Amino acid sequence: MEELLNTNNLPAPPVPGIFVNRELSWLEFNRRVLSESLNPKIPLMERLKFLSIYFSNLDEFFMVRVGSLHDQSIIEPNKLDDKTGLNAAGQIDAILKKVAEINPIAERAWESIKQQLRAQDIDLMDTQHLNKLDEQIVQKYFAENIRPLLSPQIVDRQHPFPFLKNKEQFILTVLEDKEKDKSKDKSETKGDSLKLGIVSFSHLPPYFIFTLNQRRRVLFTADIILFCAQKLYGKQKVVEKHVMRVTRNADISVDEGLYDFDIDFRGVMEEMLKKRRRLDVVRLQFSSIPGERVVNFLCKKFKVTPACFLVQSIPLDFSFGFALPSALDPHKEEKSWFYHEAKPFVPVDFAKGDAGGAFNYLQNHDLLLSFPFHSTKPFVDLLYEAADDPSVVSIKISLYRLANHSKIASALAHAAEKGKEVLCVLELRARFDEQNNIDYATMLEEAGCTVIYGLSDYKIHAKLCLITRKVHNQIQYITQVGTGNYNEKTSELYTDLSFISTDPKMGEDATRVFQALCVGEVVESTERLWVAPNCFESNVLRYIQEQVDLARSGGEGYVFIKVNSLNDMEIMEKLIEASQAGVKVEMVIRGICCLCPGIPGYTDNIRIKSIVGRYLEHSRIFIFGTGEQQRIFMGSGDLLNRNTRRRVEVFAEVRDGDPRREILHLVDAIRMDNQNSWEMLSDGSYVKDNSDHAEPLDSHTYLHHYFEKPFELPPAKLSLKERLFGRFHKN
């Protein structure tokens, strides 16, 4: 059983070099998320939410990435990671070691949060420290509110082991088996046969809150049932008990469904979702160390090794962290517990007739919306104006993730009902949003929209909308390109950009994109837009090469890249070449980064930082060059192999006007952020930027002020610091 807690038998992580393993890089990102739960500058309940996000991220990581490696270890056991030379099994071992290294930080964060709540007369309790009165209250609550709703199952020679759903918690008990004890069968120690009790309680509230002696007590349902487990089995003695949680592989290929079913694509997706629910187990979490018999039994049952067992003393499921703050303070009266309210600003209200309506405004100005600082309302208003305007012929849009009760979907449905041609390219393979997209496909079709499901070989991840008008027998376009989904909920949580322009060349390119998608193809070339898979990576390489050539000829080469992830080998090799040529490369990469900066002779001129703060950094921005020759692009794709080669992504160039100035100002704020920034070191690790020598700047807070009250930028002759802070302090 020692191997459940001892990771010394696992190989050490790869020796740091120029490249970092993708999975280990992601775990380092999740460590940065976790660190926010220990940050004393962050309000208490927001720290709890960061802890919940850490565990939610980890769940998905095991379901998708570890699940994928699990499959690879069976199908292609000798396939090696092209950056570190590890096979799938070696990567899984390194992952488990890294998780074991990071999880104690989570335990410290949980204890810190509990301690601070105790100081405010709130006790997050465990059943080991109940006094007599607490115990009476818990026993009564269990008898009246929990016990009648439970259906314990016995597992023995006559009763089969039940199916355990993904991410659900169970109370697992070992029951005394008197007949077997008499036989003293040797198979017992092997776990071939056990008498078990299993109780599911996912349908119950996650916690119980009561007040005693002017202190609020919070007890988790899992702990209450575990405490009272003996009462579930009458005279049958419980000899061992645990809270257990199962994580299953969720990495299932749609291609499998396409080969197995002679049905339409929507039907294939529905069948795939059914299959996903029953995929292999990749992780077993326990609240305490299970006995050898239990380990052997479950290893045999789930076809796993003891390395898949993870024991943690804190709750196994932290999803309660999103709801508990509201349960403890429903009106957010304790202001120190939460971030200050920051409502999205409506820069121009087209519905109220500002600027003479959306069409009139856009004829004279490009528009940049910066989320979450701006509201999505101007874009929704644009769609409704298009629905009602007789000059509009069609609305075409690519949809990846939609919010529940989506205003954008409603606007599209309204346009179809008004007789407009509405084409929705809806990607059904948006992971974990598949069912939501299937439901929206039905709704949009019923409203009269034409819905297509994308391409068999490529996911459509682009954020592209095209409104086509016919004015005085001339075709006019309004094109919108975004970095984030058409989702009102995430637009208030993620930093994203939405660029809207009447540039005819952009419209012509967008038309070609939708025409290609309608016939099951991807565009081969474009004039104004970058469109993956054929002209995204190639353009990035071309523009970096231009800066390399400039630097080699004695000029000032500069590249700025802001993405969520980087592992594309061709682009990383080109960035190394750029650094060697003397090009200054600055990158802001939130999550996975497989390239190490600051390695002598290779990446000396590359600086990489990650921003983890109140909002999830999600925008993708590329800047090449300086001064008048500077080129700015924004769009939907990261620099992962999947984005550059296996997805349809769209980028637009922002050429002039207010949108260009606003992006440059946003980038300046990001570059100067010293409150949410982590600097990547040459060994692949990260250190928090806590610059004492510089004036504190939290880019998320600063940009809320900036976009809420638009203003004329100070003269360029002022320093960057003066331009940023001069106005910041004025307000």
**Catalytically annotated residues:** 461
- Please give the structure tokens belonging to residue 253: 């290929």
Task: Tell me the C-alpha distance between 708 and 692, whole Å.
Answer: 28
Evaluate whether 646 touches 458 at the Cβ level (below 8 Å): yes
DSSP-assigned letters across all residues of 672-719: H--SSEEEEPTTS-EEE---SSS----HHHHHHHHHHS--PPPPTTS-
Task: Tell me the C-alpha distance between 361 and 5, whole Å.
Answer: 63
- At a CB cut-off of 8 Å and minimum separation 6, what does 175 contact? 154, 195, 196, 197, 233, 236, 237, 238, 239
- Please give the structure tokens belonging to residue 521: 């193809």
The sheet carrying 207-212 orders its strands as 122-124, 215-220, 207-212
Residues pairing with 652 in the sheet: 634
Give the position of tokens 């976790």.
34
Helix axes 44-61, 22-35, angle to 10 degrees: 160
- At a CB cut-off of 8 Å and minimum separation 6, what does 146 contact? 201, 204, 221, 224, 225, 228
- At a CB cut-off of 8 Å and minimum separation 6, what does 134 contact? 125, 212, 217
Evaluate whether 383 touches 409 at the Cβ level (below 8 Å): no
Amino acid, single-letter form, for residue 458: Y
Task: Tell me the C-alpha distance between 326 and 324, whole Å.
Answer: 5
Task: Tell me the C-alpha distance between 591 and 594, whole Å.
Answer: 10
User: Which of 407, 402, 403 lies closest to 381, judged by CA?
Assistant: 407
Helix residue ranges per DSSP H, 76-186: 88-118, 132-141, 178-183
CA dihedral sign, ordered 525, 365, 473, 411: positive
Specify the DSSP class assigned to residue 373. T
User: Which of 411, 365, 354, 409 lies closest to 388, judged by CA?
Assistant: 411
Q: Regarding beta strands 367-371 and 494-501, do their DSSP bridges make them parallel or antiparallel, or are they unpaired?
A: antiparallel
What is the Cα 45 distance to its own chain's centre? Answer: 20
427, HSE (Cβ side, Cα atoms, 13 Å): 26
Task: Tell me the C-alpha distance between 663 and 133, whole Å.
Answer: 60
User: Which of 326, 346, 476, 484 lies closest to 402, judged by CA?
Assistant: 484
